[in-house]
Amino acid sequence: MACGTRTLTWVAVILSIILYRSGGLIKNCIVVKSPFTTGHVANADYDADCTTLRDHTVPRAESLSSCEDEVFWEIEDKSGKVVQRPVIFTCDPNRKNWNTVMGPLRNPDPLGSLWLYIPSTDSSKDYLDPSVKRDKVQRITLKNYPPNHDFHPLGAEAWPSHAGSPSNLYVVNHARHRTVIEQFVLDPASPTEALHIRTISSPYFLSPNSVALTSPDSFYVTNDHFFTRRLPIVGHVLPLIESVLGLPLGFVSHVSLHPVTSNTKNPIAKQAFAALFIPFANGISLSRTGTNLAVVSTSTNQVQFYTRDPLTNKLSQRKSETVILPFSPDNVNIVPSIDQPGKEDVVVAGHPNFPHLVAVAANKKGAYAASWAAVLTPKPESLSGTKAPVSDDAAPVPISSKVSTDGTTYQVKTLFQSNGDEFNFGFMSSSTALRDPDTGVVYVSGLYAEDGAIICKPGSGIGRKKYIASSSL
């Protein structure tokens, strides 16, 4: 009897921990299946203004598909004003065979890829090679990439290009034997080429996921798990336990690099832990001022905010500003506000139903996973510092139906939503979202989306292209 009592006590303790750490995730992302519509995008018509970016005349394995991250490569004029915002996508059609976060680790061949989308702009402000097509996604060639070196891109970020000058791009690479970060150089004169500079490896990269640049040669990097899929025997169990229990074992590191011209063999000049004890530390983004950092905690459905000291790169968490979301957030981007000049919005995308995402990852027939992206906008001064009921009535599944209050600094509203049924015009497994602050164009990438990414141009009437039969996907 005593043994049975002790067992029940331990079960109760474990269940209490799960509910405390991950109660929101279990309720909103596991138990409840929300009635999403085919698609919804704020300030636009999903059916009339949205279309996927993949070219169906090209075989899936050679096209933009299963895109995890998307980042703006900002092009500045001589005064420092951003005049162009091409988008870079990190994609891997082989993700269902090689995924070091969700599994499986079956086959790391073939390589993933980078893709570029250049929106049309005023030709007088165009610093990019005019021969490269606009409004069409194009593959980026990896120049001087080491032979026999895997490439499975996840998080990425590009430093802005000033008046047509080359700039650095960093990409997390979940390679065969360990995860590393690849450094490339992008040149507006040849935007569809990325010159490989070096591969960066570090003991501070335990499970790298996403990067946020603090200079052309330094960055923060999130590490999503302490227990990884790469562990022998227990690798398929311990990471799942860590996620479900919401164990705070993820962390953020900061790395500064030696100049490329340095003769040192180790490219890392300085490295340190910047933030510890974050459950499933996933996406990360730094404001243009360099003082506001957002970090996603996927297993607790949170976006956490930190104040950065630009001189020391030390971080201080602003716990009262933490925002709870109705989905498991994946990636986050801080971008200039579209409605409040001089301020910044926080755009975050993620996964509304974890079991459905797992079914897609396992390649189960007929499985699809919904998409949800939200925008966090700064509160007016009169409301800042207090939480208020969420107002999100325009969305088919309102955030307010799952989360009652917003943050003390940010209001929360739906930016994009879809049931994920690709064969009926939905868009699946959103992992990243961006909104151009000048045009209002929304880009969403899908972790397992057959068509990789979707673009929504308010009022454009570009329409939604029908999918070709499944045999050609």
Q: What would the pLDDT profile of 151-163 be if each residue is shown by its tens digit?
A: 999 999 999 999 9
E strands in 318-385 = 323-324, 328-336, 344-351, 371-378
- Per-residue pLDDT tens for 398-414? 999 999 888 899 999 99
Residue 66, φ and ψ in degrees, nearest 5: 50, 70
Residue 236, φ and ψ in degrees, nearest 5: -90, -5
Q: Is the pLDDT of residue 467 over 50?
A: no
* Domain-located, residue 185: yes
Dihedral, CA atoms, 320, 326, 330, 335, nearest 10 degrees?
Answer: -60
* Domain-located, residue 73: yes
Count other Cβ atoms within 10 Å, centred on residue 391: 13
For residue 2, the model assigns a pLDDT of 53
Q: Which of 305, 331, 316, 255 is nearest to 409 (CA)?
A: 305
For residue 407, the model assigns a pLDDT of 87
**CA-to-CA separations, 104 to 150, 156, 162, in angstroms, rounded:** 16, 22, 41
For residue 396, the model assigns a pLDDT of 95
The two structure tokens encoding residue 267: 């490219």
Residue type, 276: L
- The DSSP bridge partners found for residue 117 are 87, 137
For residue 430, the model assigns a pLDDT of 98
Cβ-proximal residues to 152 (8 Å cutoff; 6+ apart), any chain:
92, 94, 95, 98, 100, 108, 111, 112, 173, 174, 175
For residue 33, the model assigns a pLDDT of 82
Q: Rounded CA gap, 303 and 402, in Å?
A: 16
More confident: 391 or 35: 35
- Per-residue pLDDT tens for 282-291? 999 999 999 9
Q: Rounded CA gap, 324 and 426, in Å?
A: 25
Q: Which of 234, 206, 232 is nearest to 221 (CA)?
A: 206
For residue 47, the model assigns a pLDDT of 94
Q: Which of 197, 245, 255, 244 is nearest to 222 (CA)?
A: 255
The two structure tokens encoding residue 149: 């070196």
- Per-residue pLDDT tens for 185-219? 999 999 999 999 999 999 999 999 999 999 999 99
Q: Which domain holds residue 445?
A: 28-456
Q: Rounded CA gap, 87 and 71, in Å?
A: 6
* Domain-located, residue 192: yes
- Per-residue pLDDT tens for 340-367? 999 999 999 999 999 999 999 999 999 9
Q: Find how far residue 322's CA is from the centre of its chain.
A: 18
For residue 24, the model assigns a pLDDT of 63
Q: Tell me the average pLDDT across 444-464.
A: 93
Question: Counting every residue, how long is the chain?
Answer: 473
For residue 121, the model assigns a pLDDT of 83
Domain of residue 241, CATH code: 2.120.10.30
Least confident residue range of 12-16, 244-248, 280-284? 12-16
* Domain-located, residue 466: no
More confident: 30 or 301: 301
Q: Is the pLDDT of residue 294 over 90?
A: yes
Q: Find how far residue 80's CA is from the centre of its chain.
A: 26
Q: Which of 410, 411, 391 is nearest to 401 (CA)?
A: 391
Q: Is the pLDDT of residue 419 over 70?
A: yes
* Domain-located, residue 246: yes
The two structure tokens encoding residue 233: 């025997």
Q: Rounded CA gap, 383 and 441, in Å?
A: 28
pTM: 0.93
Q: What is the mean pLDDT of the chain?
A: 91
Q: Tell me the average pLDDT across 79-85.
A: 95
For residue 265, the model assigns a pLDDT of 83
Angle at the Cα of 390 (from 389 to 391), degrees rounded to 5?
115
| Contact by Cβ (8 Å): 249, 21 | no
- Per-residue pLDDT tens for 255-285? 999 999 887 889 999 999 999 999 999 999 9
What total of structural domains would you count in the chain? 1
Q: Is the pLDDT of residue 125 over 80?
A: yes
Long-range contacts of 200-206 (CB under 8 A, 24+ apart): 200/255, 200/257, 200/267, 200/268, 202/253, 202/255, 202/268, 202/271, 204/253, 204/255, 204/271, 204/272, 204/273, 205/178, 205/179, 205/180, 205/181, 205/253, 206/251
3-state DSSP of 144-175: CCCCCCCCCEEEEEECCEECCCCEEEEEEEEC
For residue 22, the model assigns a pLDDT of 57
For residue 468, the model assigns a pLDDT of 40
* Domain-located, residue 131: yes
Q: Tell me the average pLDDT across 130-142.
A: 95
Helix or strand run (H / E) with residue 276: strand 268-278
Residue type, 402: K
* Domain-located, residue 12: no
